[in-house]
Chain A
Amino acid sequence: MWDYTDKVLELFYNPKNQGVIEEAEQAGVKVATGEVGSIACGDALRLHLKVEVASDKILDARFQTFGCTSAIASSSALTEMIKGLTLDEALNVSNKDIADYLGGLPEAKMHCSVMGQEALEAAIYNYRGIARDVHDDDDEGALICSCFGISESKIRRVIRENNLTDAEQVTNYVKAGGGCGSCLANIDDIIKEIQQEAATPAINNYGVKVATDIANTKQSQLGLTNVQKIALIQKVLDEEVRPVLIADGGDVELYDVDGDRVKVLLQGACGSCSSSTATLKIAIEARLQDRVSKNLIVEAVEPLL
């Protein structure tokens, strides 16, 4: 028997917010619906949100769930958690938040909390008219688990968001690998790759070690040495800024870093462009502030003739 918390059992035996929200002819209010899971997978959730259009606020949330104890409890918990939130605030609710609200779920049942998060996203994306597959990274969208139809991007996301370290955990969270098991080796490879990205310093063009996973590195910026900071700036410029500028006939070169002042040389079309200030501030400074440090100020310097 599964070891469920009292909260899980309470919401299973006395679920809150079960049912449907009908599309009412109420001015300024719309109903959004999200459906995830399937009868074949053994669990499915249809989530209904009543949204106040002007404020983007969730006025009510209800669910219909086909599934086990923890699926029903997770659905009920989710509806309790998101009532009163704006849609943007609700999008920040993670599967971990749902599990935490329940006082935890057996690890083998974590996929129930993931189903809740996905139904919420589906409902909000539907409401906003955004196709769900836009959310997934198309470059990483290969199907890994054909038994449960799970893509690589989804597996990568759940690994990163929940710090998963083995294939069994991935199976518990998104079911991938829980069928024939033939994809478990692939899942192991993905985990290994993500762990290497997070942990292994790489060598950039200048032979300086930098953390390759820029997003993760943001959290440890305070610990960057000057050399690491410069290398990271160079990496962001090379990988994220220059390709965009080059596509427009321009380019940028890192000239110097003095404390938080980043001096660059705008080249090509960028050098003579009337909107070079915008390029500097939006395309370069904002990106570096986001990726490296919010204190950075980018300045253009004139090339030495």
Chain B
Amino acid sequence: MQNNCIYLDNNATTKVDPEVVEVMLPYLTEYYGNPSSMHTFGGQLAKAVKTAREQLAALLGADESEIVYTSCGTEGDNAAIRAALLAQPDKRHIITTQVEHPAVLNVCKQLETQGYSVTYLSVNRQGQLDLNELEASLTGNTALVTTMYANNETGVVFPIEQIGLRAKEHGALFHVDAVQAVGKIPLNMKKSTVDMLTLSGHKIHAPKGIGALYVRRGVRFRPFLLGGHQERGRRAGTENVPGIIALGKAAELELLHLEEATKRERRLRDRLEQTLLAKIPDCEVNGDTTQRLPNTTNIGFKYIEGEAILLLLNKYGICASSGSACTSGSLEPSHVLRAMGLPYTTLHGSIRFSLCRYTTEAEIDQVIAVMPEIVERLRALSPFKNDEAGWLQAQEQTLAHR
């Protein structure tokens, strides 16, 4: 298997930090007890779990009692939405956005079949929400506002505290999917309007299979997984102790590196972005470039298709991601980019580069070196580049009239 790639797909997953691996290993081997056990062998693990909980709470600016471990971000999102609705059985309205992760969107779609009404807030060309639309959508029947903190595809950051204030004014709970924001944006839940917040370990250099849900003290919470009394009755199931230990350490390291790493990632990201825009004609950045994660850039290369770009990048050992339909099982391109109203000429050829604290100057140089050639090569194949016959123009006119 290939393991020496230039990895610029950190919004998909991240490398597990070697220090994280080191601290979790003993819990896969010698300390394999069950923290719920009465005997010392298992019981001593409860202390390690508590330490990890404190480490994670510190990253969030929260109290350790407000942390509920989950298996992943998807579980956190599902649990938060269900909990908010179960706690307010008389309210039947949810507000979310068109650009959420499927872990939120698909739950909302299912809830619509169960008698809930859902408002999907639109976004503008920059991928930003209109707070007036949110304000107009809130009613006394709104049980929950659930939005992401930062978009996984564009990195666009939503004005979370302003959203939360409006939700509070209408008595709605506020859940935030912060899977992409944690570790990249300083958080202080004590001063926040957020009631529940989802995070995932593998996005912050912990392994896959561990996540957490922040639940503000005092928020009524009904568990999604029923069973034993783990996590103070809020999430049944024997704890993933190695994962929890790893997440704790990863959180500690994120907090330690947050300021310096984000500054560095932003500098590298900006250099990559600005150089590609300067070197390659007919491309543009997708999304708000002022309210954006420091590690993410999403660039639309016109007239060519994303999967083909990715495969040529892959030939150079470069890993990135695309909003193209052909990269997934779906036949529809990215719902995020479509919601932003991007033209099809850009939409299908959009590539996301997402950096992390391990990204080097040399890696960025390599992408800058190969990307112009890749784009040129695919454009030479494309019937839409230099479209003298007007095929594309005719199609765009048809699309404009739809």
Contacts and interface: CB of A to CB of B under 8 A. Distances in A.
Nearest to A172: B331
B190 to A, nearest CB: 43
Given A40-B399, A66-B305, A178 B383 contact: no
A12 B311 contact: yes
Interface string A60-85: 00001111110110000000000000
A40 B330 contact: no
Given A12-B308, A35-B391, A40-B344, A65 B383 contact: yes
A27 interface: no
Chain B interface size range? 20 to 34
A13 B378 CA distance: 10
Nearest to A179: B332
B305 A67 contact: yes
Interface in B336-386: 344-345, 348, 380-384
A71 B389 CA distance: 21
A207 B383 CA distance: 57
A15 B383 contact: no
Contact of A68 (B324, B329, B383): B324
Interface residues of A, number: 31
Given A13-B315, A35-B383, A42-B348, A67 B308 contact: yes
A66 B395 CA distance: 14
B399 A72 contact: no
Nearest to B331: A178
A291 B312 CA distance: 51
A115 interface: no
A43 B314 CA distance: 21
B308 A69 contact: yes
A144 B324 CA distance: 24
Contacts of A46: 383, 389, 391
B287 interface: no
Given A18-B381, A35-B391, A179-B332, A67 B326 contact: yes
B86 to A, nearest CB: 29
A66 B311 contact: no
Nearest to B306: A68
A68 B380 contact: no
B348 A38 contact: no
A1 B380 CA distance: 24
Interface string A13-30: 101001000000000000
B130 interface: no
B392 to A, nearest CB: 6
A147 B65 CA distance: 48
A45 interface: yes
Contacts of B382: 64-66
B381 A39 contact: no
B174 interface: no
B379 to A, nearest CB: 10
B381 A15 contact: yes
6 contacts: A35-B383, A64-B381, A65-B382, A66-B384, A72-B308, A178-B331
Given A39-B384, A39-B399, A43-B305, 16 more contacts: A18-B380, A38-B395, A39-B345, A39-B348, A39-B396, A42-B344, A44-B383, A45-B383, A46-B389, A64-B381, A65-B383, A66-B303, A66-B304, A66-B383, A68-B326, A71-B305
